[in-house]
Amino acid sequence: FFSTMESVLRLFIDDLVPEMKGRPDVKLQRNEMNVLELHGVVDIRHATRLNIAVHRFLRESGEQQVSRKHLRIVVPKVRLGDVTTERERQVLAQHTENPDHLDPETIIDMPEWNADFVRASDRRSRAHIKPRYAQDDDATVDAVAAFVAEHCRRANGIVVHTGAGISAAAGIATYREGHDKSIAVSAALPTFAHYALVALARMGAVDYVCSQNVDGLHRRSGLPADKLSELHGNSYIETCGCCAPPMEFVRPYDVYSNKRPDPRYWGRYVQGPDGRRAIEANTDLTENERRSGIHHITGRACPRSGGALRDSVIHFGENLPTHALEEASRRARAAPLNLVIGSSLLVRPASKLPFAGAGPVAIVAMSCTGSDTAALKCGGVLLRASADAVMERVVRHLGLERFANRPELMDVLHGRVRQRDQAVLQSDGDVPYDGGADGGVVPEALLTGAPSAMAMDVSAPLLQLRQTHEPTRDGQHRWSLSLETVEGHADALQCVKSVSFNLHPTFTPSVYDVRQPPFRVGPFIGWGTFNVKVVVDMGPDTPEICTKFPLTFECSEKVLPVATAA
């Protein structure tokens, strides 16, 4: 039996990695615990397809594990002088503080798989080199997309970690390309990959997104705030620490660059008594501002409390937001797969988050990252491809045939983003950003026919939630929500003692307890959607019903059945 399983695994490997067929580089054998082990050496360029072959073998054979403990992943070596100029060697030596990089005879890892070349190509440094990119073939792109899609179908949904590369198609240059080739953040619109993540989050395939970007494109694409940790902040959001809980206000412009000409609050840098830079302001500084020496005062005042508003961008030397980091870590630990898109994984602590869990790590980037070998050793995959190309294949594998990367679709989605931006502008941005189940950007019709990653257990429901909606003349939306009986079960409402509707915390009040029919709240007026938590008290002898209703502004009426029994 054991010999048969080893032969089957070899067939999977030979089929997906023909470069290894008939070669003795990798051997299969059983250890004393009867666990299959891979022994030998594999070229890093073949390791992704090898891991996918092992994954398919485990899925088809019922085998529990294939150990990679004795498998060594190697990067092809080259002579430094054959792949660099003299100036590039000087820059490499400067960035790495390694004088061996001055010698053209030095043997190094191939530049496309060498993290030293990634660090040295950072254009924020005056001295930098040309970035080295690679591109995988279509077969590998599709194999990795299928690998990701398979993990998306698991109960929890995957966690996605995004860096500058996901926004490259929007015209925002990465650190490897330089700001001279970038459009302004305020002129950028979300990419197909951004919208695809919203669609996958809607169907339960993506559980959470952790982003290092400050361009705000995840929120503008419609990803709800409770599905996102913006570890380095958001250029479009300013916050008020005087409110409890702290309020967020979204603007259709970069809040730090767009200062008020007549600011109520101001902050400026002056020379302190010790000769160092200090902050002078007409409002109390936060603990973070006093510690870091960086002020975030935008000049605008909170429309609720009157306190000073501050931008949310995290600069070098400042601590990451505690809640965002803790939630990102918690989600990553529980994920069946952590998918990295467009990040070099060179900045801590974000670079460690994808490896917090026990599941594999998939890395999609155009250049080498600081964790390529670590991902492969854990059974993960690497892919040299653009974010849009990969996400297009992933949504196709998940059955979202209508969500194809076409100009017509992008025009529709971009138009909806601009419409929402205009609604924010008309309100002067003084409507707290309430995130949303989809933010009103991705139409529900595009998700029809897609299998849900989380099957709902709703059998013979007696109750239902009904939302009514109509647009207002100023671009906002009027809506109400009620609990009612399903047709033919009019007596079911007699068992309901009370209904609690938990709205977004920006509402005052944010919780409505309705203790007699009709069990209805509203009408309310706003421009963003969110999940309403609904708790139904059925009396002391029956467990309460707790569910979430995702608001939508796509139609005049939406009905959601409520499970009344486990």
Rounded to 5°, angle at Cα 251 from 248 and 257 = 110
What's the N-to-C CA distance of the chain in angstroms? 43
What span, in angstroms and rounded, lies between the C-alpha atoms of 338 and 367?
18
290 and 319 Cβ atoms separated by less than 8 Å: no
What tokens were used for 450?
Answer: 């897609």
CA separation for the pair 9, 99 (Å, rounded): 45
DSSP label of 330? H
CA angle 150, 212, 149 (to 5 degrees): 5
Q: What are phi and psi of 179, to 5 degrees?
A: -70, -20
Over 540-565, what HEC string results? Answer: CCCCCEEEEEECCCCCCEEEEEECCC
Tokens of 561: 């059945």
Per DSSP, the residues of 2-28 read: HHHHHHHHHHHHHHH-GGGTT-TTEEE
- What Cα–Cα distance (Å) separates residue 8 from each residue in 3, 15, 20, 22? 9, 11, 15, 15
* 295 is annotated as an active-site residue: no
Q: Are 375 and 46 in contact (CB under 8 A)?
A: no
Write the CB contacts of 101 (distance below 8 Å, at least 6 apart in sequence).
Answer: 80, 89, 92, 93, 108, 116
Regarding beta strands 66-74 and 36-43, do their DSSP bridges make them parallel or antiparallel, or are they unpaired?
parallel
**Cβ atoms of 235 and 215 closer than 8 Å:** yes
The answer to whether the beta carbons of residues 287 and 310 sit under 8 Å apart is no
Distance (Å, rounded) from C-alpha 498 to C-alpha 521?
13
Single-letter amino acid code for the residue at 505: P
Query: Of 55, 232, 295, 504, which residue is the catalytic one?
Result: 232
Q: Give φ, ψ of 497 to 5 degrees.
A: -90, -40
Count CB neighbours of 137 within 10 A: 10
In whole angstroms, give the CA distance from residue 346 to residue 332: 18
Structure-block tokens of residue 233: 């902040």
Residue-by-residue DSSP string for 61-125: H----EEEEEEEEEPPEEEHHHH--HHHHHHHHHHHT-GGGG-TT-EEE-GGG-HHHHHHT-TTS
- Euclidean distance between CA atoms 314 and 291, whole angstroms: 13
With the C-alpha atoms ordered 208, 210, 216, 221, is the resulting torsion angle positive or negative? negative
Query: Which letter, b or e, does each residue of 45-65 get, where b requires 16 or more Cβ atoms within 10 Å of its Cβ?
Result: bbbbbbbbbbbbbbeeeeeee
Is residue 440 within 8 A of residue 424, CB to CB? The reply is: no
Q: Report the catalytic residues.
A: 232
